[in-house]
Structure 1
Amino acid sequence: MPHRLNPVPLDFVHSAPVRLVFATGVRAEPSAVFRALAEDVEGWPSWFRAITAARPTDGGAGREVRLIGGTRFRETIMAAIPGARYAYRVDETNVPGVRAMLEDWRLTPSGSGTGVQWTMAADGPVPVRVALRLARPGVGHAFRDAMRGLDRRLASGAV
């Protein structure tokens, strides 16, 4: 059953009790990466294998996302700066115990394309915090795999 999460502000990304931060590079320019993240929401499952469905809501001010295994998120877009940043807060989920969650994608130009940094910021009771920290290697693997998929998708001109 879905439950509401705390409506944290954007700076929660810096103060959350659990912060999982991952970074890598892709060959595409920041503007193309931003379009894939923010404007082609329904395309996420084609490059992020953990996602089975994604769609914009509220005229683009939010998203609904479904993951493998049945996890669901309803989100509010908190920042959308073309070519630089895309962040969203999870407002509702069926994941038990999570009290707050925000994800922040930062894009920086690099000599070979774009540096991508993804931060997952979360809060919950101690068992949830421990579980999130223990999930770090798997989440990192999923991020790196997704960035390889995004790189291929952008190179093919699909977005």
Structure 2
Amino acid sequence: MAKMAKILLAVAAVVAVVELAMATNYTVGAPSGSWNLQTNLTQWAESNTFHVGDVLNFSYNPSEHDVLEVTQANFDSCNTSNPISTYTDGNTVITLTEVGSRYFICGFTGHCSAGQKVQINVVSGSSTSPSPTSGSTSPVASPPGGSPPDSAATSVTAGAGLVFGLAALLAF
């Protein structure tokens, strides 16, 4: 019975690593823009398919912009008074953890109403390799609380290490 529990734990861990390795890292607004007033963020979001595990990178000058995650009602009305989360670091990294819509606006006066807002619709399943125009980078794993690595090799190496570690655990 203990051996079966170890096997189930190992399978669950491998599935989690595979899902992380398949995540796509999106720079919001890239490749032709960023989190600013000039980029058509609605068009950018509609040109991408976001999956659970994908990572959004908001890159901006914190003296000119911020990122507020808000409800749909506050998104629609550009209401900044009661955000779900506020980010002001200039390099905000957000992992998409569940299916559904997420809403982001700039909290600087007039920016949201001028178009600096984006709705991200998250679907289930794994990401596939992005198209060259998607404004994303290679599939990557994203460590909790930190910036995602810039190379798919990092997630493959981490995944291989976990698999070998689990194999050793099962040997007991």
Same topology, TM > 0.5: no
What TM-score do the two structures reach when normalised by structure 2?
Answer: 0.30
| TM-score normalized with structure 1 length | 0.32
Which of the pair has more CA radius of gyration?
2
